[in-house]
Structure 1
């Protein structure tokens, strides 16, 4: 059992590593797991034969020696011996794998490749000498720096502490320079000796602690005691970013200085505290001195310089307190640290932001805005009021610069050339006017799909993008007034005092900013969007265009739709090829809708991909030729911004389906004249079955048409008008119209899930054509029989002469149409009828009429049950809104199903 448990765990790891199926799909994971376990349990392969592997290795070494590569054989043997102590049970498998990968090792192996395995020896760096330091730092030109006071911590008298010694001379210092003596003068030479000599000597003695004393020449440093005032001066200089003697460039304190009067540990702790402050401020000062090219970074640097300036002013005030002494003051380093802490703490937060910016790679120029935004919100949550005010103020000051391209885009519809920080880009090619809204401008995204904009702006980016596009469209409409019309005079301010007032200090910073920025956008967005919507309705006839689309594609006017459909069907039934002439089809459509739509706005096309050139074959199915009919409406280009090409394709889909339904109804509603033989009754026999089947097919087609018109098209059309009236901008209008088209497509059973059900509906429409054709064939046969009976009865009558009988028969026989009849359709119709009779007879294999009607009735019942049951099942299994409509249609169709 332990082995099986281990095998199962290893199998799970193998499946996860190779297949990578998520844990949520547990069923698929179990299938793969069982398959792998079955293979592992039932495999018949043994492990690698270790003796065979050993023989192959020995043979390989012997082969090297046979062909004269002894050096390669020795190296191979040596490495096998080195590997011997590390053998385990998997070693033969590894050797076997390597042997299988080997490709002519005797010819392709080079011994020089082994040199790459040898680790190079580390070359020690050259030793540092005082001579090198003196040469590099220029000490050779400054002799006086070699003179310093030595203060021994264990000295018992002031005389020993004031003893001055010189360091051992460096070799280069003994050489005589050829430069003029003026170049080697010191500050002592230029001092005014009669009056300033003593003062200068006092200054020098006061600053002797800066020179690091050395014990025994240049050996070990000796601790130097300094006063609190001297350390205070160095600390203030270090915090101000100035060079000091105690702290180096990285703000690390010197180990040779000790504060007078306290222990060494306390002195070092105090020095390290101030050094930590300086190290935190160093990145801030270094970043503020950069010269960035981006305006966003320039304003950030300016804000940092202002914050650092406040610190420098505070430090200058402290220095002035100890220089121009007006009253007794106490020199306290701890007190100074507590005094500057309120200013240093917010700067530490800024320094953390700078450090994070420098650690991240390939950051955008607006990245620091996101960091400031997050840090300000966090400081507010942590009740750090000073940090919150500083970071919030800097964020909003920098955000003013980011608002400039947004303001230019929303007010004038223009983009700054070369601006890489804004999230809107313009296409390099000029697109047609109807595609300007969708394709001329785009939102920039990263390769990972993230929007190229600050995170805190994402909720408002859609409105910003829409407002700018509205201005662009208005310009192309020649309806864009002066820019000042769209520039609100009462634009809300975006400074810290306005966005974050004191009486709302407990409100989250993110909420305050969102509310302020939302008000700022409304001042820019509403005017342009409202103007564009008004122009679409009043000047470019959006409502009239939607009415035209409903009449043409959705057949909202039944009489006009019937006029169009019956004219097309008449050409199909007459086997005429003129229906696929786009000029004829355009004339038919314009004539059908001439009462309500201007003729020039309607045109027709034929899709050659779905056309069957045989008119005889095209009339036998609703799947042939009818989908090739494409009607088009000429819309104003601003209306085409809302009614996109994808939406027109959806309209065309509904139009084709409605035309197919009307085709089936037309075939059944206007059949060929029924011919009843003498003594036959239409209500009994085959004729009764035909009329019953015809009634059911008409009921089915009428049910589908009723469902489409009353439950799908009419409610959704009313909802579309309501959604368009509530839309805030053009994007909302486009979305509302796209949702409308998507709804009617799904509710009309044209979604991917209902493909089999829709095909079954088309089979029912084709069944109606078959029933009509079979009935036409039967009527032709009965009429022919009746004429033959009449002819025989007339001829065989004993009371009629042959001449009179022939005249009576000729009068009773219908006269065929002339070849010169209108459209010359007689030949086509005669040929088509004969071809249709042959095809029907061939397809039905000579079955009697009543047998065919019985089979058709069975097909109808089967198709009806499939459609109703399929709709009911899909409606129950689906969570879409259209499921309710599918369930209603299933309930309507279940009425015609027999128990």
Structure 2
């Protein structure tokens, strides 16, 4: 009831404050009161999300820190911590209300407003004021010490302007105190001068500065030059070189023409001040860089180096000024502007070279300042060494290595941890935003950044080392995926060499070219981080994942290095084709056949076979599939499952090259298999009429056998075997040799990938599988088809001579019960058809003529392409043409 009464009172106050209905209108107030009560009882508003409020407060604290309001961020953090001890159920609502009411607190909030929340101390000591300090020190009534005196010509002591400070205003004596105290005369600037020559010294100072305000025209209004002394010229020139405002030079370091050195002509004066102005103008870009606000860490280090160089130069200017003061006291010492210029020359030369770099970068608006500074510093260091400028060489070399240390940080992180600095736009490596499959991590997960012109997004002097840097980091990434990174970190090969100017460019090697010194030092630095990861990954590929064994398995399967087992697999496929059985296209039958053939020399569980559905459409019906080597054989695919680290070396493109070599050899073996059928039935016929046909048949068959054996011998002994041997030599398959010497430059994974890709490209090119030899390859396949056509024609002749008796056969029956009956001559190209209308002699003569024509086409094509090409495979093509030309003379 107490809650309802309190709620009713609050509703009445709300109605009176918002609606403004007078109390006399009781009925309307009652209706409105009931409406508000029902609305409050049935509201659907949820409580404030306290976690969202906490996140917003933490985000506000981070915003304060980012905007440079660290003190305000610390104050907010302290009060949030104190609030944890005084939490109430309504604390989130209160904090949410304050957040909603806040209006850009990072810009408008004042830390001084928190002082109003501090309760005053009851017995706090009174604050110290300037009035009490003035009373204690005795300068309470000395108002004249705050007077500003104008040193312009014609000014006097009475011209001083009485400007009172806040302290003097607070310490103004009251009427009672001034009446009781004795009258003290006011002090002036003359009283502050040194006694006893105070007046003379003051007048001397005034006179020395009067030239700044002298009139540049005579009494008649004609322009005239204001004479200045050598000391005044040197002082102004030294101030200008130090970046200070002067009266003799403007803000752009240009000399002001109304002054002239006393006792010299205008041309001489102009030459002197112009020389100083040129020096100041060359230093101006460095002053701008020293005062700029840089965000990039490398540019911040460069800015710090520029500031240190300028600070050293300013100290030299101070020493010259000190000598100039002593020279005025000792009349025997003469200081001239020319001598000062000659003395500053060696100090200015390094700074001018550094300023040229800054000016060059500023002019290149589209270039990346970070990389350009490194490149130009590298070039300038080498140029200074060639010119013999030792000071410039040392200064620029030191600055270059200081900046290069910053650039080494992302390189070190990448080569040691395989990680990239988030948001770093100056590094030349980028990661893919999507996570790729494990076999594609090495090739596709990371990439080198390039500009629109195709150049690497890195300093040019790092180009020789980019590949090793890139592969070292990728090696670490792959080792992490293998779970072997910790072993590399524990067994680090060598310590990191120092990369500073004193170590890389010692005095005893000052005549050695800077580029060679840097390349040698940086190569050693990279080797200290690259060798361990590369050697470990290489050893794991060979020993743990069996790279050599898997390559041997691929060579046995695709390159048919084991001829007996390859013949067993090929003969089974040819048997299905000759029997018109669909078993050649059944993946289970093909896989079983392949595993039975190669089970003794490799892991048969990894081997499978299938038929490419895209190439299966060209095979046609079973008679069509056996009638040409172009039909069914290109559709057969072998698959050997490799460990994913081995897949890094054996890429998908390489496997496609393997498949092309496998298909071509299978086609050659198909023709050989057809030609090796026995000819005993022809010899038993004994018909005199058949003797000329038999002789012609044996001639054509011999030439076809010779062509197929020559082509297979060329592929086996002159292409595949030497290429495989060279591959093992390039890979260095013995892991012990890879770890034998830490100083050896062993092949890394990228080198192994390149070596294997080169092997596949070389083998396919020498096997006439390239695009340039496609017409020659088509002619070779036509020759292979002639072998099938020859044997089909002889089977037809046998069936004609025998009347079809005794030649009826039953085909092979597969698992589905497929069965076909008929004679061999009744199944021809295009499906069921009759025997050929041509006579056997005509067919033989046609095959023989076509073979002779195609043989000349192949030989001439190989010769022509070999002579017009500069490829390494051209010598092999020429050799194959020479081997085939021997058959033309038969």
Matches within 5 A, 1:454-603: 454-481=459-486, 484-485=489-490, 489-603=494-608
Structure 2 vs 1, CA of residues 693 and 820 (structure 1 numbering), >3 Å: closer, same or farther? Answer: closer
TM-score, length-normalised on structure 2?
0.74
1:357 aligns with 2:361: yes
Matches within 5 A, 1:613-692: 613-670=620-677, 674=681, 679-680=686-687, 684-692=691-699
1:743 aligns with 2:726: no
Task: Please state how far the C-alpha of 1:372 moved relative to its aligned partner.
Answer: 1.1
Matches within 5 A, 1:17-166: 148-149=152-153
Structure 2 vs 1, CA of residues 195 and 679 (structure 1 numbering), >3 Å: closer, same or farther? Answer: closer
Q: Which residue of 1 aligns with 2:703?
A: 696
Structure 2 vs 1, CA of residues 144 and 863 (structure 1 numbering), >3 Å: closer, same or farther? Answer: same
CA distance in 1, matches of 2:868, 2:811: 60
Say which of 416, 420, 426 aligns to 1:421: 426
Instruction: Encode CA deviations 1:406-465: one digit per residue, 9 max, x unaligned.
Output: 111111111111111111111101111111111111000001111101111111111111
Structure 2: tracts of 5 or more residues without a match? 1-145, 170-185, 733-737, 739-745
Say which of 174, 191, 201 aligns to 1:194: 191
Structure 2 vs 1, CA of residues 177 and 241 (structure 1 numbering), >3 Å: closer, same or farther? Answer: closer
Instruction: Encode CA deviations 1:123-142: one digit per residue, 9 max, x unaligned.
Output: xxxxxxxxxxxxxxxxxxx9
Structure 2 vs 1, CA of residues 615 and 203 (structure 1 numbering), >3 Å: closer, same or farther? Answer: same
Task: Please state how far the C-alpha of 1:870 moved relative to its aligned partner.
Answer: 2.0
Instruction: Encode CA deviations 1:650-677: one digit per residue, 9 max, x unaligned.
Output: 0000000000001111111125872566
Structure 2 vs 1, CA of residues 858 and 211 (structure 1 numbering), >3 Å: closer, same or farther? Answer: same
CA distance in 2, matches of 1:752, 1:698: 27
Say which of 836, 841, 864 aligns to 2:828: 836
Matches within 5 A, 1:664-813: 664-670=671-677, 674=681, 679-680=686-687, 684-725=691-732, 728-784=747-803
Task: Please state how far the C-alpha of 1:489 moved relative to its aligned partner.
Answer: 4.8
Instruction: Encode CA deviations 1:307-347: one digit per residue, 9 max, x unaligned.
Output: 11110111111222344679664332222222121111111
Q: Which residue of 2 aligns with 1:8?
A: none
Structure 2 vs 1, CA of residues 821 and 272 (structure 1 numbering), >3 Å: closer, same or farther? Answer: closer
Task: Please state how far the C-alpha of 1:261 moved relative to its aligned partner.
Answer: 2.9
1:397 aligns with 2:389: no
Structure 2 vs 1, CA of residues 838 and 398 (structure 1 numbering), >3 Å: closer, same or farther? Answer: closer
1:857 aligns with 2:848: yes
Q: Which residue of 2 aligns with 1:210?
A: 212
Q: Which residue of 2 aligns with 1:802?
A: none
Q: Is the 8 A contact 1:872 1:886 kept in 2?
A: yes
Structure 2 vs 1, CA of residues 533 and 218 (structure 1 numbering), >3 Å: closer, same or farther? Answer: farther
Task: Please state how far the C-alpha of 1:211 moved relative to its aligned partner.
Answer: 1.2
Task: Please state how far the C-alpha of 1:570 moved relative to its aligned partner.
Answer: 0.9
Q: Is the 8 A contact 1:664 1:766 kept in 2?
A: yes
CA distance in 2, matches of 1:182, 1:238: 37
Q: Which residue of 2 aligns with 1:338?
A: 342
Q: Is the 8 A contact 2:428 2:448 kept in 1?
A: yes
Q: Is the 8 A contact 1:232 1:333 kept in 2?
A: yes
CA distance in 1, matches of 2:249, 2:595: 92
Q: Is the 8 A contact 1:693 1:857 kept in 2?
A: yes
Q: Is the 8 A contact 1:224 1:257 kept in 2?
A: yes
When the two structures are aligned, how many residues end up with a matched partner? Answer: 706
Q: Which residue of 2 aligns with 1:282?
A: 284
1:381 aligns with 2:386: yes
CA distance in 1, matches of 2:834, 2:220: 120
Q: Which residue of 2 aligns with 1:891?
A: 882
Say which of 814, 839, 857 aligns to 1:866: 857
Task: Please state how far the C-alpha of 1:482 moved relative to its aligned partner.
Answer: 5.7
Task: Please state how far the C-alpha of 1:829 moved relative to its aligned partner.
Answer: 4.7
Task: Please state how far the C-alpha of 1:490 moved relative to its aligned partner.
Answer: 3.1
Q: Secondary structure at the match of 1:692?
A: helix
Matches within 5 A, 1:214-363: 214-215=216-217, 222-323=224-325, 329-363=333-367
Instruction: Encode CA deviations 1:737-766: one digit per residue, 9 max, x unaligned.
Output: 111101110110111221111111100111
CA distance in 2, matches of 1:190, 1:347: 49
CA distance in 2, matches of 1:739, 1:489: 33
Task: Please state how far the C-alpha of 1:393 moved relative to its aligned partner.
Answer: 1.8
Q: Is the 8 A contact 2:430 2:449 kept in 1?
A: yes
Instruction: Encode CA deviations 1:812-852: one digit per residue, 9 max, x unaligned.
Output: x78x67899776878425287523289697694x1111111
Q: Is the 8 A contact 1:148 1:213 kept in 2?
A: no
Q: Which residue of 2 aligns with 1:78?
A: none
Q: Secondary structure at the match of 1:207?
A: helix
Q: Secondary structure at the match of 1:630?
A: strand
Q: Is the 8 A contact 1:576 1:825 kept in 2?
A: no
CA distance in 2, matches of 1:235, 1:276: 11
Structure 1: tracts of 5 or more residues without a match? 1-141, 150-162, 184-188, 788-812
Q: Secondary structure at the match of 1:442?
A: strand
CA distance in 2, matches of 1:504, 1:819: 86
Q: Is the 8 A contact 2:579 2:811 kept in 1?
A: no
Q: Is the 8 A contact 2:415 2:476 kept in 1?
A: yes
Instruction: Encode CA deviations 1:543-582: one digit per residue, 9 max, x unaligned.
Output: 0000000000000001110111011111111111121111
CA RMSD across the alignment: 3.2
Q: Which residue of 2 aligns with 1:368?
A: 373
Task: Please state how far the C-alpha of 1:210 moved relative to its aligned partner.
Answer: 1.4
CA distance in 2, matches of 1:376, 1:459: 19
Q: Is the 8 A contact 2:581 2:812 kept in 1?
A: no
Comparing 604-613 with 757-766, greater Cα deviation is found at 604-613
Structure 2 vs 1, CA of residues 820 and 739 (structure 1 numbering), >3 Å: closer, same or farther? Answer: closer
TM-score, length-normalised on structure 1?
0.74
Structure 2 vs 1, CA of residues 231 and 702 (structure 1 numbering), >3 Å: closer, same or farther? Answer: same
CA distance in 2, matches of 1:823, 1:869: 48
Task: Please state how far the C-alpha of 1:865 moved relative to its aligned partner.
Answer: 1.8
CA distance in 1, matches of 2:526, 2:224: 68
Say which of 424, 427, 430 aligns to 2:435: 430
Q: Is the 8 A contact 2:493 2:531 kept in 1?
A: no
Task: Please state how far the C-alpha of 1:194 moved relative to its aligned partner.
Answer: 3.0
Q: Is the 8 A contact 2:826 2:833 kept in 1?
A: no
Task: Please state how far the C-alpha of 1:734 moved relative to its aligned partner.
Answer: 0.8
Structure 2 vs 1, CA of residues 837 and 386 (structure 1 numbering), >3 Å: closer, same or farther? Answer: closer
CA distance in 2, matches of 1:211, 1:835: 120
Instruction: Encode CA deviations 1:323-378: one digit per residue, 9 max, x unaligned.
Output: 46796643322222221211111111111111111111122121111111112222
CA distance in 2, matches of 1:818, 1:533: 56
